[in-house]
Amino acid sequence: MVLVLAEQNAGKFKKATLEVVTYGRKVADLLSCECTALVIGETDAAATLGQYGANKVLTTADAALENFDSQTYTSALGQVAEKVGAKVIIIGHNSTGKSIVGRLAARMDAGVISGAKSIPSVSNGFVVEKNVFSGKGIASFTLDTEVKIISVMGNSIQPEIIGSDVSPESVSLQIEDSKVTVKERKTVSGTVPLPEAELVVSAGRGMGGPDKWGIIEELAENIGATTACSRPVADTGWRPHHEHVGQTGVAIRPNLYFAIGISGAIQHLAGVSSSKVIVVINKDPEAPFFKNADYGIVGDLFDVVPRLNAALKEFKANNN
Amino acid sequence: MKILVCVSKTPETTANINFVNNNTEFDTNGVSFIMNPYDEWYALVRALEITEANGGDVTLINVGPAANDAVIKKGLAIGAKEAVRIDAEPTSALFVAKQIAAYAKSQNFDIIFTGKESIDYNGSLVGGMIAELLSLPYISYATTLELNGNAATLNRDIEGGTEVVEVQTPFVVSAAKGMAEQRIPNMRGIMMAKKKPLAVVAAEAADDKEKVTEYKVVPKDRSIKMIDPENMKELVRMLHEESKVI
Ligand SMILES: Cc1cc2nc3c(=O)[nH]c(=O)nc-3n(C[C@H](O)[C@H](O)[C@H](O)COP(=O)(O)OP(=O)(O)OC[C@H]3O[C@@H](n4cnc5c(N)ncnc54)[C@H](O)[C@@H]3O)c2cc1C
């Protein structure tokens, strides 16, 4: 049995959750077993997880699980795993997943891979790949414990509709009261959070200061991308900390990464080099980033980016 | 406040990563090692700030061989009062967590800090594991931590924003950017570190639940196409037709 934690956000499933359910389905196929999705909290959408390959959908409306707490969530997942006899437990590698995979592995004395980047291979043991050394290397881990726990990097797999709705069943669990009180959640609405973004527009010290980012935001808006920046830009407060990507910031693997006025230091590359397509705009033809790019433009970003914005507007007008 | 800070030793950030022995081992040849930046810049410094404001002491703990003493001494030079090294190769996250939990069990620490992840295996696992083994609350990716008596208020990173949580000591926390500012050890700190206690403790038996069977260097198979800066229509066309990302 494969067990997937299907996280909901205000009653809906984000693409990131559907990716995890699809991943769970593929693992279940490899092991010729069923895939169960666990949904915490009531939502009308629960049944739709069947479309992504869940054979069974379990829900729990336990009041102790109303707010996220690693301890109560681990307890819930651990209890369900025991009830259904889960052999592989799958969670998204996001703030929830990162908070509970370690706990769950300790609770179940299980093997764990946090941040898996692809479907396991089972031809010669149970092997899972993940990025190591902040994106500079890839390691294949072999797990031989009875229970295996995997958190999956965002954008590692695309959601696939392969089945139809299944009626959810509710499970009752014994959850102790949470010792953590959530006071407030402040999220920016409208933009896709960086770790989940498929398109990212990032700029660096080449911007020269905090006040000229309009062209970067416009570019991001034109293609529906999320904005990011290099470390010195966040350190000096030109942009907020959560936009800092790289070895000591957020590690991302979008389909498209624009690097504008960023030199391409090894610590920056570490966090972004798994991007599928990289476009570099830099006025220095010797900038190291050009060695790691698919498309390169040598030029002053203050000329090139407005020109690109105009070309994108024209493209959008013609394609609508 | 009695605080434990878990620190690991990682390759320096500019290190080139290579693998040897048929790609089954990390090649440490020519690599210099540092204290994991999240442990040093954020966890350790915030722990010191808390004890400076509220009284108490910071103990450092590392699971590793004697070669790790240089990293531990840096932590003592930055300001920790004492250190403990569990004498074993840190072969997996659960192995390390079990060692630290076994040590911490009888010590009644108010707060146990880790960095948000280590920059070698990027697992983000050890903090949560210690918390589970000790049945403590765990706040991950915390960017601030304010104490009022035994009550702590923390901000933590979530997708696209921040969550504000409250918890009573004792608890485990993993520290992310924002928590504190890096401190450079001064001469006095370095001299004092030489006299601070560094206890070496034998490891408990524990097995690894997973192991690396093969490493790969991330392929650098990009072949760049240069595009005329005057012709951004061409870039848009290529992104649409050739790489199909827009
Ligand atoms: C321990 C450690 C960890 C680190 N972690 C990270 C990390 O996680 N992420 C990170 O990003 N960095 C990190 N760094 C910093 C890293 O080493 C670099 O200093 C940093 O990435 C440089 O940022 P930058 O490219 O924006 O700035 P610079 O290196 O200053 O590059 C600016 C670039 O902009 C170009 N430029 C200037 N003006 C224009 C213009 N008008 N038009 C076009 N191009 C222009 C220049 O040619 C240059 O290439 C870390 C460093 C250390 C020591």
- Is the same domain home to A154 and A241? no
Q: In A, residues 54-73, which contact B (CB 8 Å cutoff)?
A: 68-71
CATH number at residue A162: 3.40.50.620
Tell me how far apart the alpha carbons of residues B112 and B174 are, in angstroms, rounded to a whole number: 9
A27 and A116 belong to one structural domain? yes
> A235 to chain B, minimum CA–CA distance in Å?
10
| A12 touching chain B per CB within 8 A | no
A165 and A209 together in one domain: no
CATH code, domain carrying A238: 3.40.50.1220
- Domain extent for A162: 2-170
Local confidence pLDDT in tens for the 320 residues of chain A: 999 999 999 999 999 999 999 999 999 999 999 999 999 998 999 999 999 999 999 999 999 999 999 999 999 999 999 999 999 999 999 999 999 999 999 999 999 999 999 999 999 999 999 999 988 899 999 999 999 999 999 989 999 999 999 999 999 999 999 999 999 999 877 788 998 899 999 999 999 999 999 999 999 999 999 999 999 999 999 999 889 999 888 889 999 999 999 999 999 998 999 899 999 999 999 999 999 999 999 999 999 999 999 999 999 999 87
Q: How many domains does chain A have?
A: 2
CA distances from A14 to A48, A57, A123, B169 (A): 12, 17, 32, 34
Q: What confidence score (pLDDT) does residue A135 get?
A: 84
Confidence bin at B246 (pLDDT 50/70/90): very high
If asked whether residues A252 and A120 sit together in one domain, one would say no
Q: From the CB of residue A187, how many other CB atoms can be counted at a distance below 10 Å?
A: 14
Considering only CB atoms, which chain B residues are within 8 Å of A181? 165-167
- CATH architecture of the domain with residue range B2-218: 3-Layer(aba) Sandwich (3.40)
Domain-located, residue A225: yes
Condensed to tens digits (0 to 9), the pLDDT of residues B136-156 reads 999 999 999 999 999 999 999
Are residues A162 and A251 located together in one domain of the fold? no
- Classified as helix, coil or strand, A277 is strand
pTM greater than 0.90? yes
Closest CA to ligand 1's atom 25: A262
CA closest to A185 among chain B residues: B163
B86-121 pLDDT, tens digit per residue, is 999 999 999 999 999 999 999 999 999 999 999 999
A179 inside domain:
no
- Kindly state the tokens that stand for B97: 């967590």
Q: Name the residue of A219, A283, A292 whose CB sits within 8 Å of the most ligand 1 atoms, as the mutation to test its pocket.
A: A283
- Rounded to two decimals, the ipTM of the complex is 0.95
Q: Where are the domains of chain B?
A: 2-218
Which pLDDT does position A181 carry in this prediction?
A: 97
- Asked if residue A111 and residue A40 are part of one domain, the reply reads yes
